[in-house]
Amino acid sequence: MPSSGTVALLAIWAMLDACAPGHTRRQRVHNWLIRWGDRAYPRLPVGEHGRRQNPEIEVGHVKQMVRLFGIEECAKRFLERLR
């Protein structure tokens, strides 16, 4: 089943704080680089042009990152879109 919908960036940060303790995030021009342990997810978008206080991120990006880090079960408790 294809992914659809969006997730607020602040909700993603809260999920990562709980499910991937010790992760690092670095904002680049067009995306965020998220590192946790020996893995890195370099494609989390910064959001659409304009104000980027709490942009909506497509859920497909979040699902890819969660699978890469192996934190699916924990992430589902924080982000309803992943259930």
Q: How many CA atoms lie within 13 A of 37 on its CB side?
A: 9
pLDDT digits (tens, 9 = 90+) for 17-39: 999 999 999 999 999 999 999 99
pLDDT digits (tens, 9 = 90+) for 36-63: 999 999 999 998 877 778 999 999 999 9
| pTM of the full structure | 0.92
Pairing of strands 31-36, 24-27: antiparallel
Q: What is the pLDDT of residue 52?
A: 78
Kindly tell me the sign of the dihedral angle through the C-alpha atoms of 16, 19, 42, 22.
positive
For residue 8, pLDDT beyond 90:
yes
